[in-house]
Amino acid sequence: MTSELQKEIIQLKEEKNAIILAHNYQPKEIQEMADFLGDSLELCIKAKEVDDKEIIVFCGVDFMAETAYILNPDKKVLIPDLEAECPMAHMLTGKQVKEAKEKYPDAAVCLYVNSLGEAKAEADILCTSGNAKKVVESIEEDTILFGPDNNLGEFVQPFTNKKIIPIPGDGHCYVHKLFHKEDIEDARKKYPNADIIIHPESNKDVQELADYVLSTGGMLSHIKDSPNDEFVIGTEVDLITRLKSEFPDKTYYPLLEGAICKTMKLHTLEKLRDCLKNEKPAITVPEEIAEKSINAVERMLEVSK
C-alpha cells in the first residue's frame, strides 16, 4: 500500500518534472520509489538519456551524482543527503593523478568512475566494474595508470597485455574488503548447489575462489539467465533486495550479512521528499572540472556501446 509520504514524493516528482535514479545498494523503500535502478554504468547511460526532465534526483553516492551533473550541466542534480560520499573515491586526489602522470608521461590514465571530479578531470577514460575489461582493451598505450581501486585493477590485469600501474596503490572499498576466502569456503559447504558471485572490488584471493566475478548489473543479468536457482551474493546486501523483487522465485544468501555501505543508507523517504520540495541539496561540479572530465566520461560511454 502506498503511504502518504510515498504519495507526496510521486506528486512532487510530477510537479517538478523530476526523475529518480537509484543505485542497486539503496534501501528497499528508496528502490521502490526509483524510476530507474542500476549499477554505476547503467546509471551513467541513463543520466545521459534524461532529456525531458528538469531535475535528476540521484539516490546513490557523491561520485555517481557528480557524473550525472557532468553529463547534464544544465539540469539540477539533487541528492537527498549530501553526506553520502564514497570513501574510496576520496582516496585519490587530482594532485596525486597529476604527479603519477609526471612520473609516467607515456601512460594512459584510466580511472574507476568511483573517483572525485578533480581526479576525473585528469583522466583519459573512465571505467566501471561492468566495463573495465572492455575499456582497458580500448586503450592504445602500453602502460595504464589505474585507480583508485587496486582490486579492480588486479581483476583486469590477466585479461590484458598492458601494464597496469595502480594509483594511489592502496585504494579500496571498505565494504568489499570485509569478504575473506574463509567466507567463500564456508558458503561453499553450506550451499553446495549455489553459484557464488563476487564483486571485483573484493580481494584477489576471494575472487579466485568464487564462481563468477561481476558488477552488480552483471550479477542481475547472470541470475536472470541462469538455470540455477540458488546464489551466494558477494556484494552489498541490498542488491538482494533488488534481486528478490525482480526474480522472487530464486533464493539468495548474502556472503556476509554485515556487508553494508553506510553512506548508501543515508537516503531516506523523508529526505527524498524534502529534497524534491526544496530542490536542494544540489550536486554541482566546478565548470572547469566538468569541462575537463566530460571527454573521459563520453569516451567510456562510447566504448560501452
Report residue 49 as a C-alpha cell: 538519456
Site string for ligand 13P, 206-245 (x = CB under 6 A): ---------xx-----------------------------
DSSP run (H or E) holding 98: helix 94-103
Interior CA angle at 89 toward 86 and 93, to 5°? Answer: 145
173 contributes a contact to ligand SF4 by CB under 6 A: yes
Residue 38 CB partners (closer than 8 Å, separation 6+) = 21, 23, 24, 46, 217
- Which of 135, 173, 206, 209 lies at the binding interface for ligand 13P (CB under 6 A)? 173
Report residue 110 as a C-alpha cell: 584510466
Closer of 86 and 275 to ligand SF4 (Cβ): 86
114 contributes a contact to ligand 13P by CB under 6 A: yes
61 contributes a contact to ligand SF4 by CB under 6 A: yes
Beta-sheet strand order (sheet of 36-38) = 36-38, 18-23, 55-59, 76-78
Binding partner of residue 266 among ligand 13P, ligand SF4, none, CB cut-off 5 to 8 Å per kind: none
Cβ–Cβ under 8 Å, residues 128 and 44: yes
Q: Which residues does the annotation place in the binding site?
A: 23, 40, 86, 112-114, 129, 173, 199-201, 216, 261
3-class SS of residue 184: helix
For 303, list phi and psi in degrees, rounded to 5.
-65, -30
Task: Give the per-residue SS3 of 59-87.
Answer: ECCHHHHHHHHHHCCCCEEECCCCCCCCC
Binding partner of residue 87 among ligand 13P, ligand SF4, none, CB cut-off 5 to 8 Å per kind: ligand SF4
User: What whole-number distance in Å separates Cα of residue 290 and Cα of residue 241?
Assistant: 34
- Which of 236, 239, 256, 275 lies at the binding interface for ligand SF4 (CB under 6 A)? 236
24 contributes a contact to ligand 13P by CB under 6 A: yes
Report residue 139 as a C-alpha cell: 586503450
Report residue 290 as a C-alpha cell: 566538468
Closer of 259 and 276 to ligand 13P (Cβ): 259
**Site residues (CB under 6 A) for ligand SF4, limited to 201-220:** 201
**Shortest CB 149 distance to ligand SF4, Å:** 7
Binding partner of residue 12 among ligand SF4, ligand 13P, none, CB cut-off 5 to 8 Å per kind: none
**Shortest CB 263 distance to ligand SF4, Å:** 6
Work out the end-to-end distance of the chain between its first and last CA atoms, rounded to an integer number of angstroms. Answer: 39
Q: How many residues bind ligand 13P (CB under 6 A)?
A: 11
**Site residues (CB under 6 A) for ligand 13P, limited to 26-65:** 39-40
Write out the residues near ligand SF4 by the rule CB under 6 A.
Answer: 61, 86-88, 114, 173, 175, 201, 236, 261, 264
Write out the residues near ligand 13P by the rule CB under 6 A.
Answer: 24, 39-40, 114, 128-130, 173, 201, 215-216
